């Protein structure tokens, strides 16, 4: 009996995630990273990640993720495109950690401007704080039971991809009030009262919350413009 696309996808995911070493990062992977679609995890405070249902952006809303990957890679090889997309799922967090992108103003593609916070006149002011938060956040990478759960939910009609995301419940540490963790991560913690509790200053708290929301835009720009050193050449 022939396997379904969902079964083939599950096989590829298991193969790619079963090895400890990351696959070499090549221009093919970078082409797919450039096309990644960010989303906001709707859990408690929320946090950014890569959309597991539609990990790639594309003008053709009827195209599957594999078809979009084929378009980005300019290949007719669906199996290759599927494998590279799964490999990119493993590379998302390392890319966030390692990619070079200087703070500054960056153009945001027109089709993304309405859905990304902090965009003004088609541009976004990327700050060093955005990058610090993305790199110091609590990322959830899918392994073991969580990977099995994604594969169990994935269907041919609605495939799910094992894309990582920042923990929406505890994005930056163990505290339920996440701006306290943010302030510490950014090197400027809130002052403490006599009982050792953080003194929340409303104006600064609001500014930190906006900064957290803007990590969605910062992540999209890091995918669009970030550069990797030591990239393996295409074979």
Contacts of 61 (CB under 8 A, 6+ apart): none
pLDDT of residue 190: 83
Sign of the four-CA dihedral 170, 213, 40, 58: negative
Q: Are 23 and 229 in contact (CB under 8 A)?
A: no
Give the pLDDT score at 3. 52
Q: Specify the pLDDT at position 156.
A: 80
pLDDT in tens, the chain (235 residues): 445 676 778 899 999 998 889 999 999 999 999 999 999 998 888 999 999 999 999 878 889 999 999 999 999 999 999 999 999 999 999 999 999 999 999 999 999 999 999 999 999 999 999 999 999 999 998 888 888 888 888 888 788 999 999 999 999 998 878 999 999 999 998 888 888 788 888 999 999 999 999 999 999 999 999 999 877 776 6
Q: Where are the domains of the chain?
A: 5-225
Dihedral in degrees, nearest 10, Cα atoms 229, 173, 89, 132: -30
Measured CA to CA, the distance from residue 141 to residue 148 in angstroms comes to: 12
Give pLDDT, residue 143. Answer: 83
pLDDT at residue 230, as a whole number: 76
């Amino acid at each position: 009996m022939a396997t379904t696309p969902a079964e083939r996808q599950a096989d590829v995911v298991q193969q790619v995630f079963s090895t400890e070493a990351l696959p070499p990062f090549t221009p093919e992977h970078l082409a797919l990273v450039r096309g990644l679609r960010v989303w906001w995890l709707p859990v408690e405070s929320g946090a950014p990640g890569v959309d597991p249902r539609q990990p790639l952006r594309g003008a053709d809303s009827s195209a599957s993720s594999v078809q979009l990957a084929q378009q980005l890679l300019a290949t007719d090889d669906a199996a290759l495109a599927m494998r590279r997309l799964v490999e990119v799922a493993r590379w998302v967090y390392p890319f966030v950690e390692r990619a070079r992108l200087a703070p500054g103003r960056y153009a945001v593609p027109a089709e993304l401007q309405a859905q990304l916070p902090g965009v003004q006149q088609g541009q976004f002011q990327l700050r060093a704080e955005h990058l610090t938060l993305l790199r110091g956040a609590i990322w959830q990478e899918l392994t073991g039971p969580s990977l099995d759960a994604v594969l169990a939910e994935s269907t041919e009609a609605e495939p799910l991809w094992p894309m990582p995301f920042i923990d929406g419940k505890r994005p930056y540490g163990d505290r339920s009030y996440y701006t306290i963790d943010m302030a510490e991560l950014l090197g400027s913690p809130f002052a403490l009262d006599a009982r050792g509790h953080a003194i929340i200053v409303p104006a600064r708290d609001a500014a930190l919350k906006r900064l957290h929301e803007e990590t969605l835009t910062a992540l999209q720009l890091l995918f669009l413009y970030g550069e990797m050193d030591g990239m393996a050449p295409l074979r």
